[in-house]
Amino acid sequence: MSIKFIKEDSFYDIYSLKLKKVMRSGDIPTSDELTGIELRLSKVLIKDNGTIKIPPFPGLAQMYLLIIVISDLENPIQNLDLKGFAKVDDGEELPVDRTIFYWKKDDQKQKNPSQIHAFVSIVKSKESLREVGEILKQVKGDKDYSDLITNIKSLIISTTPVGQIADTLFNLSSIVGKYLGKVKDKPLLTWVQSYTDINGDLDTLGKIVKERENDKAALTMTFIIRDKERRKSF
C-alpha cells in the first residue's frame, strides 16, 4: 500500500486556504511592478529519524524529499523534484539550501505570477533508496498524473478557491507516493505554503522567512521579492 499525503496531518497556509476566490480588486496592489521572485528551501532538519539506535547499529535512516511548486504562469508545474538521502542521523541537516521557484521579468509584456503554491514533504524509506530519476519518469508517464496536470492548469487560472488547489497538490503527491516503494505510511513532515497577490504576499519587498516544525523535522522557506527600483541579479 502506497503512502498517503493527508492535509489534516500537514502544515498549510490557513489564511490563503480560507480565501473564497483568487481575484484582484482595484484597492489591492498588483504584482505588475515586480522584476524578480525567488523561493528557496533554506533548511531541512531531521530531528528524529524514527530509527532506534541499538549498538552496534547506529540507527540511521533513508529519506526522500519531495518538492512540488505550481503557479499561474504558462507552465503550471514549475518544479517537481524528488531527492534521496542515505544514512541520515538524528539532528542532521540535509544539504538542500536551494531555489525551488525562480522568476525574473525580462520583458514588460511578460506575465507576472500572482499565485505560487509550494508543497514540501519528508518521507522515510523502509528499504534502500530507489533511483529518483526513474521514479519521476514513472510518475510523468502515469495517466492520473496527465489528467491532474490538465486539471491544475484550469484550476489555477480560474477563480477556484485556493483550498482546492492545495487538495490537488496532495493528490499529485500521492501519485508520486505510488512509486516510492516501501516507505512509512506517514511523512515526517509535510508543508503546503501559498503566496498570492490577493493575500498581499507579493507586496513586501526583500526576504520573508517562514518556518514549520514538529517533533520529527523542521523546514525553512525563504521568499525573496524585488521590484524595478531594486532590480538585481539573483
Which of 2-11, 33-42, 91-100 is least confident?
A: 2-11
The answer for 87, left when phi > 0, alpha when psi is -120 to 50, beta otherwise, is left
- The predicted structure's pLDDT at residue 231: 47
- The predicted structure's pLDDT at residue 21: 37
Three-state SS for 118? strand
Spatial CB neighbours of 82, under 8 Å, sequence gap ≥ 6: 64, 65, 66, 67, 132, 135, 136, 176
Kindly state the average pLDDT of the residues 176-205. 86
Residue 158's pLDDT band (boundaries 50, 70, 90)? low
Task: For the beta carbon of residue 67, count every other beta carbon within 10 angstroms.
Answer: 19
- The predicted structure's pLDDT at residue 190: 94
Distance of CA 81 to the CA centre of its chain: 9
CA dist., res. 86 & res. 64, Å (int): 9
Q: What is the pLDDT of residues 88-127, one digit of tens each?
A: 999 999 999 999 999 988 777 777 888 899 999 999 999 9
- The predicted structure's pLDDT at residue 176: 94
